[in-house]
Structure 1
Amino acid sequence: MCSCIGKGSKNVRRTPGGLLFRQTWNNLQFVTTASFLLTVYSDNLTSARKAVTCPQGNAAPSELLVFAKSQVDYILGNNPRGTSYMVGYGNNYPKRIHHRGSSIVSIKVDPTFVSCRGGYDTWFSSKGQDPNLLVGAVVGGPGPYDDFADVRNNYEQTEPATYNNAPMLGVLARLSGGYGNLNQLLPGALPSPPPPKTALARRQAPSPLLISQTETHSWLLKQKTYFRYTVTVTNQSPKTVKNLKLSITNLYGPVWGLSKSGEFYMFPTWVTSLGPQGRLEFVYIHAAPLATITISRYDLV
């Protein structure tokens, strides 16, 4: 990672236009893969609230993401030639790629049979533009001095490959999900939750009601960890509970499954009582430990 962003002891070579350069033949396979790894590692570092320690100084997670974006920008046309190396993107892109299907006319245009040899002699050797546009394909890309020849038999630079596109798709998906303000984690991208934690609140003797809370999910959003707790109120008496009122303190988020009146929480509108051994469940979410839930009032009938 350090060598890619220019902070290593032996850095990866770059073209004058700033593109990472490994070799002449299909260099973009290395660029898109490195950009994808930089993007993933950037998010992992942010989750851990760490930076990269490099021989030439530390690098924040955002620096990795910014550099990955610069490589994608280059591929899509922000380079000295003003050439997009993704076919069909922009106004100036390769039009004579090293691809048999793209270099042969579509059967919908000309249904004449094309033999294997004929496809090579008649179509592949043509100096004309591709009759079949392979939209979205990323070709091999420029040479060490940002040079590029849009010639079909220049396979080192004009041949597309799935392993060029695959990692770039991941980078584009990440950037579309929050590059603008460098949100390192996408909303809704949930890490694996820790094992559930169950806590029992104090029972107010001689209350027949038992309250239990369980952490059922957690996720990281904008460098803050949120928790979802499920609360169960169980009626352990042989009688029916009515007019239940709960007091909830140390709560910093919304509650689902209860009605609120003033400072108390009560049965939701669709529940009027809790029969013997009956259970009432509700949920709350906040970025804090368990809230404090106590029973303020109830009637047994």
Structure 2
Amino acid sequence: MHSATNPYVNISAYKFITFNNTEERRPEFIAKCQELNLKGTILLTPEGINMFLAGLRHEIDAYMNWLHSDPRFADIIAKESYSDRQPFTKLLVKIKPEIITMRMPLIKPEEGRAPSVEAKTLKRWLDQGHDDNGKPVVMVDTRNDFEVDVGSFDNTIDYRITKFTEFPAVIEANRDALNDKTVVTFCTGGIRCEKAAIHMQNVGFNSVYQLEGGILKYFEEVGGDHYHGDCFVFDYRTALNSRLEATDTTQCFACRAVVTPREQISPWYIAGKSCPHCKKQSRDQVAQGNPNQQT
């Protein structure tokens, strides 16, 4: 909740739209964010824009008003959460070939999005155990495996992907298990699941939806029903609970693994140096025949 103790507004927002002057606009984005003391990351790509920014309320509002002055981005609505300090250390405005790398250039969401399901409707489907046509609903997590381990929807199909480029092959390999179901793809904020759902439509799935706004919008609108654990986020907070509050989950500085509060009790957890996952990696390397690895 935005308050004197949580004055920083953290926004995430994106839009798939033809953005053919990224080089020209990049200096303008940098200048505006610097003027408003905003930090975070903005990706400018030919297929659209993706933003993770934080600042004080009036700074974020001024930025969004400026962004909306470009007709291409006039309808962007940011998802918000709040923190007691600036979660980012610097500002990065990058030009990339894709908002989220899938290496499927035929996907152009602006030419037609996959159907989306809003949080309240999804909750109703999950409450009743089927969609409004009586078909069973299957949740497909499109995030990377370490994100899923922090938390996900109940009974979710988790393909343990390590990068999004693996998604098309995994879906093709599991086509038969999904064909007679209503599939809802989801991710943190909507980007991956939008691309994933469009790809599934393109390859012949006829009952597939994306969760509008992702997990964060679901938390905002209906809370944590049908969800277990927290939601991984890519800033110092590491994970948010269903009230969009930062949790005690952290990330290991050495191996980048997510370290839960329970794992932080381990003697192998030394903040900034090591964690139980580091120890496991060492053991695995020894087991695979690396005699020089220390244990």
TM-score above 0.5: no
Query: Which range, TM-score by smaller chain?
Result: under 0.3
Normalising by structure 2, what TM-score? 0.22
Between Structure 1 and Structure 2, which shows a larger proportion of helix residues?
A: 2
Normalising by structure 1, what TM-score? 0.22
